[in-house]
Amino acid sequence: MLVLGIVSLRFAENNQDNRAADHDLGLAAGNLLVEATARGLSVHQMIGILPDKAREVYQILQMTLLPSLSVWIAQWWAGRSAVKGAS
């Protein structure tokens, strides 16, 4: 499974800058990693995604939303991934 992390650069209530957006997303990704690992899943966090490409592919039209990271999650059995083509 591939998860796309998106931050909101502004608060919806008052349109003020959300300066903690990246911090909040990082903490959420870290908590996801801990929970997934506790459930026997493998997690790999990735940065360096192409925000404009993610906007296009996932039709993210609101410019105050910024695709920032992706997380790959898979279950492994005896050294083999449940994801076809991965090992």
**Token code pair at residue 66:** 């910024």
CA nearest 37: which of 85, 84, 76? 76
Determine the length of the chain.
87
- pLDDT tier, 83 (very low <50, low <70, confident <90, very high otherwise): low
pLDDT value for 75? 85
CATH number for the domain whose boundaries are 2-81: 3.40.109.10
Residues 18-60: tens digit of each pLDDT: 999 999 999 999 999 999 999 989 999 887 889 999 999 999 9
Residue 31: half-sphere exposure toward Cβ, Cα within 13 Å: 7
Residues 49-82: tens digit of each pLDDT: 899 999 999 999 999 999 999 999 998 765 555 5
